[in-house]
Amino acid sequence: MPNERPSAAMTPVRGTLRVFQDSEALAQGAAAWLTDRAAAATDRFVVALSGGSTPKRLYALLAGAPYAARFPWARTQFVFGDERFVPPDDPASNARMAHEALLAHVPVSRANIHPVPTVGVSAEEAAKQYAAVLQHLYGAATLDPARPLLDATLLGLGDDGHTASLLPGEPVLEERRRWTGVVAHGRPETRITLTYPALESSAAVAFLVQGEGKRAILDRVLSGDATVPA
């Protein structure tokens, strides 16, 4: 993701585009990519998880052979790129999906899992609390361009061009200081999301995109259309 997002610009996105035969091959490729990065890390590894059907299959793969045996669960910290402001046992919860597909099946400490708080607080307070969690993990309240907050970030791409919960037209798109934000019109739920400053502080980002219906919006992203939130 570029550091600056002007209202109108066409700067081609830098990175590697990998095309897979089908959704299973995509999930397998993502599982191998994430496992390789985590295993190569010499210190703790901080990964931002995503919701959605493609990550769900990825998580199931990570929980089994051959990936689970190689993944450094004990030194991996799991955070979330966004979350619907619903109870943690709600079927729409990204944390619930990640728990059921992955985290309940691997030897990871609960202290290493950092869901967005969604009970007993307002959405605004939840966003503030989650920013504090991220800052504690990072060890500072100010991001250093030379030291990423996240070692790997998993993101999707909506038909409207949103990623995480950075939805078109929402004020959170203009946030350049805070690490988290509230999306009040989350279609339908209110959402908590990492903002551009936090997501851009990633050593590596993988966008998991599948389906013919995403081709047009993906082309716009790859061309560098800055009117697309992703």
Residue range 7-13: mean pLDDT, rounded: 39
The stretches of the chain forming alpha helices (DSSP H) are 23-40, 53-62, 67-70, 94-101, 123-138, 196-200, 215-222
CA angle 203, 18, 73 (to 5 degrees): 45
Domains and CATH numbers, the chain: 23-222 (3.40.50.1360)
pLDDT single digits (tens) 193-228: 999 999 999 999 999 999 888 989 998 988 898 888
Tell me: pLDDT of 25 over 50.
Answer: yes
191-194/180-183 β-pairing: antiparallel
pLDDT single digits (tens) 168-198: 999 999 999 999 999 997 778 999 999 999 9
Distance CA 172, CA 139 (A): 24
pLDDT single digits (tens) 75-96: 999 999 999 999 999 999 999 9
Distance CA 64, CA 51 (A): 19
